């Protein structure tokens, strides 16, 4: 495997709207981000991914871009963005923007021009397709509900949108469109970006016949994912983009890929893959229901663990995945992956330990490092997210009561991750002096940065230690390149694996007890040295130093041990 500059880095996702508001308008901004670079540096972060900050009507919170060359006024100015780049550089940190090019906003100049001249050049930047028998060209259901087809006024054509109708899909078959996109990517890379997180990229390839599929819901539609799964040839488009852009800059790219075909891993993230890396969503996908949030699955510990193990093993001879517990589309990991008895500081540290020391690039989502949780809203009107509104309605349509539908949102809503960052116990959690754009999680009075920053046994302090261990000169090689080997798999409540490196000669055991009862593990050889513990274990006498042959982990206890 070729060594790359980003292999040993730790990344952090900022959702700018909810990070820190510096001017009291209730919306997080670039100035707020700049002011927290030292906080992130101290946490041990190298790479920062910003969710979209481009000009946008915010129908889908910035994932609907109306001008790729402008910073949204809400977030600040291009000068402030340049300042952010410079300040990050000063600290040896890298900035990634979000590349959203499957679609743009319906307010983008290209789409406006296309609407005003549906036979003209810009119509070809989109999919303007003639209907069949007075109906839409196919029966696809969009990701956010309803048909993917919207009539083009004054014509017998429809335009395609896989997401909201305000997010028309861009026509990647059109070389002119591709040129425009590449030009824009290179413009940002020239500015000094380190690379991009790439949004919903698998969707750029369409089957131009737009075949209909058997309906899979009461609305008579079939999910548009079907078409994505069946169509071939996305790889050619991805290679074309890579050669025209990222490759020339040695840029880091992390792709959001759902629905990849089984044998495509090497093509996507191998040594000469389309991308540097892509997110491992395998654990998250386990919970996905057949129809939506209302029939989402409850996942048992063992299935969750084994899925992560399988994914680690599948990828390690091919490339690097990006490991997440949560992101801006997912509920909070602490609420989702920890059983009720583990939803406390020990449990959150345990989850961090088993996740951050996996092989791959850890991506921490803002607030995860202090253990932020899902947020209960009293009414559907308190939610902002377009997908939440749709999923709530889907649940009602399926016969759920309003209360049950709200419970589905509590467990699954994307807004769980979007409530403002909890900086302090002061007004609006220190996020804003005005009125925050989205309700705060009321638990900010207990869970906040200010309280945790100086407390040595806080979740935040633990994240700092954990990241420092991963990046330490002694163990960096092993945690970066060491093989992943599952351990104690027969223990039904234990999440344990070894990281073994020929280069360093080290064999490190990461072990955690997700169960309710203590669990004893027998250690091979002469035992080992504790490198990290979420329960202050290194201080206990019986485990001090070398020579221990067994390890009894309490409920929610995690330990990292250098085996000897
Ligand atoms: O998400 C793409 C996407 O496919 C998700 O809707 C996915 O199906 C879902 O998260 C599974 O839980 C990206 C962005 O991350 C999301 O915020 C945007 O809304 C979407 O693209 C459209 O740009
Ligand atoms: Ca602001």
Reply yes or no on whether the pLDDT at 543 is more than 80. no
DSSP string, 534-563: TT-GGGSGGGSSS---EEEEPTT-EEEEEE
Which residues are CB-contacts of 179 (< 8 A; sequence separation ≥ 6)? Answer: none
Residue 162, CB half-sphere, CA atoms under 13 Å: how many?
26
Q: Buried (b) or exposed (e) across 501-517, using 16+ Cβ within 10 A?
A: beebebbbbbbbbbbee
CB distance 60 to 389 below 8 Å: no
Whether ligand 1 lies within 6 angstroms of the CB of 258 is answered as yes
pLDDT at 7: 98
Residue identifier of the C-alpha nearest atom 9 of ligand 1: 329
pLDDT band at 165 (very low <50, low <70, confident <90, very high): very high
pLDDT at 218: 87
Rounded CA-CA distance 501/352 in Å is 22
pLDDT at 546: 53
CB distance 527 to 546 below 8 Å: yes
Residue identifier of the C-alpha nearest atom 18 of ligand 1: 63
Reply yes or no on whether the pLDDT at 128 is more than 80. yes
Rounded CA-CA distance 177/194 in Å is 24
pLDDT at 541: 37
Atom of ligand 1 nearest to the CA of 329: 10
pLDDT band at 540 (very low <50, low <70, confident <90, very high): very low
Whether ligand 1 lies within 6 angstroms of the CB of 394 is answered as no
Tell me how far the alpha carbon of residue 26 lies from the centroid of ligand 2, in angstroms.
Answer: 6
Whether ligand 1 lies within 6 angstroms of the CB of 199 is answered as yes
Structure tokens at 144: 């956010």
Which residues are CB-contacts of 155 (< 8 A; sequence separation ≥ 6)? Answer: 118, 128
Residue identifier of the C-alpha nearest atom 10 of ligand 1: 329
Whether ligand 1 lies within 6 angstroms of the CB of 97 is answered as no
**What's the topology of domain 11-99+280-463?**
TIM Barrel (3.20.20)
The CA-atom distances, in angstroms, between 229 and each of 206, 226, 234, 295, 549 are 10, 5, 11, 22, 50
For residue 531, the SS3 value is strand
Residue identifier of the C-alpha nearest atom 1 of ligand 1: 200
Structure tokens at 421: 């960052």
Is the entire prediction scored with pTM above 0.95?
A: yes
Q: Which CATH superfamily is domain 481-563 in?
A: Golgi alpha-mannosidase II (2.60.40.1180)
Which residues are CB-contacts of 90 (< 8 A; sequence separation ≥ 6)? Answer: none
Tell me how far the alpha carbon of residue 485 lies from the centroid of ligand 2, in angstroms.
Answer: 46
- The overall average pLDDT reported for the chain is 96
Closest ligand by atom to 105 CA: 1
Whether ligand 1 lies within 6 angstroms of the CB of 143 is answered as yes
Residue identifier of the C-alpha nearest atom 4 of ligand 1: 200
Atom of ligand 1 nearest to the CA of 386: 19
Residues of the chain with CATH 2.60.40.1180: 481-563
Q: What is the average per-residue pLDDT within 77-101?
A: 98
Residue identifier of the C-alpha nearest atom 22 of ligand 1: 63
pLDDT tens for 387-419 read 999 999 999 999 999 999 999 999 999 999 999
Rounded CA-CA distance 273/308 in Å is 22
CB distance 526 to 564 below 8 Å: yes
Q: Which stretch of 167-176, 356-365, 530-539 has the lowest confidence by average pLDDT?
A: 530-539
Reply yes or no on whether the pLDDT at 515 is more than 70. yes
Residues of the chain with CATH 3.20.20.80: 11-99+280-463
Reply yes or no on whether the pLDDT at 286 is more than 60. yes
Reply yes or no on whether the pLDDT at 545 is more than 90. no
Which residues are CB-contacts of 61 (< 8 A; sequence separation ≥ 6)? Answer: 17, 51, 52, 384, 385, 418
Q: What is the average per-residue pLDDT within 210-239?
A: 96
Rounded CA-CA distance 13/196 in Å is 12
Percent of the chain with pLDDT over 90: 94
- Of 19, 166, 30, the closest CA to residue 87 belongs to 30
Tell me how far the alpha carbon of residue 34 lies from the centroid of ligand 2, in angstroms.
Answer: 13
pLDDT band at 539 (very low <50, low <70, confident <90, very high): very low
Rounded CA-CA distance 495/302 in Å is 9
Whether ligand 1 lies within 6 angstroms of the CB of 281 is answered as no
Q: Buried (b) or exposed (e) across 241-255, using 16+ Cβ within 10 A?
A: bbebbbeebebbbbb
Which residues are CB-contacts of 393 (< 8 A; sequence separation ≥ 6)? Answer: 145
Residues recognised as catalytic = 199, 256
Q: What is the CA radius of gyration of the chain?
A: 24
pLDDT at 548: 60
Atom of ligand 1 nearest to the CA of 203: 4
DSSP string, 100-152: --SB--TTSHHHHHHHH-TTSGGGGGB-EEE-BTTB-SS-EEPTTSSBSEEE-
Residues of the chain with CATH 3.90.400.10: 109-160
pLDDT band at 527 (very low <50, low <70, confident <90, very high): confident
Backbone φ and ψ for 15, nearest 5 degrees, come out as -105, 95
CB distance 385 to 413 below 8 Å: yes
CB distance 149 to 136 below 8 Å: yes
Rounded CA-CA distance 136/433 in Å is 48
Q: What is the average per-residue pLDDT within 184-193?
A: 98
Q: Which long-range contacts (CB under 8 A, 24 or more apart) does 301-307 make?
A: 301/339, 301/492, 301/493, 301/514, 302/492, 304/337, 305/495, 305/514, 306/489, 307/282, 307/283
Tell me how far the alpha carbon of residue 200 lies from the centroid of ligand 1, in angstroms.
Answer: 6
pLDDT tens for 408-457 read 999 999 999 999 999 999 999 999 999 999 999 999 999 999 999 999 99
Which residues are CB-contacts of 320 (< 8 A; sequence separation ≥ 6)? Answer: 7, 269, 276, 277, 359, 360, 361
pLDDT at 538: 64
Residue identifier of the C-alpha nearest atom 14 of ligand 1: 199
Whether ligand 1 lies within 6 angstroms of the CB of 329 is answered as yes
Domain 109-160 has what CATH class?
Answer: alpha beta
pLDDT band at 537 (very low <50, low <70, confident <90, very high): confident
Whether ligand 1 lies within 6 angstroms of the CB of 365 is answered as no
Atom of ligand 1 nearest to the CA of 258: 4
How far, in whole angstroms, is CA 228 from its chain's centroid? Answer: 20
For residue 443, the SS3 value is helix
For residue 509, the SS3 value is strand
Rounded CA-CA distance 416/3 in Å is 37
Atom of ligand 1 nearest to the CA of 63: 23
Whether ligand 1 lies within 6 angstroms of the CB of 326 is answered as no
Whether ligand 1 lies within 6 angstroms of the CB of 294 is answered as no
Rounded CA-CA distance 522/379 in Å is 50
pLDDT at 550: 85
């Amino acid at each position: 495997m070729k060594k790359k500059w980003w292999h040993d880095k730790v990344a952090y996702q900022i959702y700018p709207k909810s990070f820190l508001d510096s001017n009291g308008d209730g919306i997080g901004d670039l100035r707020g981000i700049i002011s927290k670079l030292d906080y992130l540096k101290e946490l041990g972060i190298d790479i920062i991914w910003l969710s979209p900050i481009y000009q946008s009507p915010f129908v889908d919170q910035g994932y609907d871009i109306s001008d790729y060359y402008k910073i949204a006024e809400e977030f600040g100015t291009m000068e402030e963005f340049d300042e952010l780049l410079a300040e990050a550089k000063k600290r040896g940190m890298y900035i990634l923007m979000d590349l959203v090019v499957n679609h743009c906003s319906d307010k983008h100049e290209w789409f406006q021009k296309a609407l005003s001249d549906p036979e003209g050049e810009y119509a070809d930047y989109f999919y303007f397709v003639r209907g069949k028998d007075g109906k839409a060209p196919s029966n696809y259901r969009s990701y956010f509900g309803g048909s993917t087809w919207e009539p083009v006024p004054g014509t017998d054509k429809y335009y395609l949108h896989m997401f909201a109708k305000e997010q028309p899909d861009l026509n990647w078959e059109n070389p002119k469109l591709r040129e425009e996109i590449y030009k824009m990517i290179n413009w940002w890379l020239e500015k000094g970006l380190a690379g991009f997180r790439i949004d919903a990229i698998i969707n750029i390839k369409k089957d131009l016949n737009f075949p209909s599929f058997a309906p899979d819901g009461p609305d008579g539609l079939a999910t548009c994912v079907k078409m994505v799964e069946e169509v071939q040839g996305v790889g050619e488009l991805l290679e074309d983009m890579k050669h025209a852009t990222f490759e020339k800059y040695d840029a880091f790219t992390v792709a959001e890929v759902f629905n990849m075909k089984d044998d495509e891993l090497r093509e996507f993230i191998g040594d000469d893959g389309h991308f540097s890396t892509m997110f491992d969503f395998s654990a998250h996908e386990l919970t996905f229901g057949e129809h939506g949030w209302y029939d989402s699955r409850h996942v048992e510990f063992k299935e969750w663990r084994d899925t992560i193990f399988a994914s680690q093993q599948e990828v390690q001879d091919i490339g690097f995945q990006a490991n997440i517990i949560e992101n801006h589309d997912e509920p909070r990991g602490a609420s989702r992956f920890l059983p009720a008895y583990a939803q406390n500081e020990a449990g959150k540290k345990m989850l961090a330990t088993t996740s951050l020391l996996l092989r791959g690039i850890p991506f921490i989502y803002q607030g995860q490092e202090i253990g932020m949780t899902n947020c209960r809203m009293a009414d559907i009107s308190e939610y902002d997210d377009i997908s939440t509104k749709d999923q709530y309605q889907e649940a009602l349509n399926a016969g759920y009561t309003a209360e049950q539908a709200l419970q589905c949102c509590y467990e699954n809503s994307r807004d769980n991750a979007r409530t403002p960052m909890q900086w302090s116990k002061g007004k609006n959690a220190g996020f804003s002096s005005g009125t925050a754009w989205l309700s705060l999680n009321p638990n900010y009075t207990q869970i906040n940065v200010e309280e945790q920053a100086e407390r040595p046994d806080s979740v935040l302090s633990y994240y700092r230690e954990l990241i420092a261990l991963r990046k330490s000169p002694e163990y960096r090689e092993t945690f970066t390149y060491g093989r992943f080997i599952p351990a104690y798999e027969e223990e039904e409540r234990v999440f344990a694996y070894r990281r073994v490196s020929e280069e360093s000669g080290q064999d490190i055991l990461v072990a955690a007890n997700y169960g309710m009862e203590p669990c004893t593990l027998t250690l091979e050889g002469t035992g080992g040295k504790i490198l990290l513990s979420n329960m202050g274990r290194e201080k206990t006498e019986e485990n001090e130093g070398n020579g221990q042959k067994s390890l009894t982990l309490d409920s929610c206890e995690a330990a990292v041990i250098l085996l000897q």
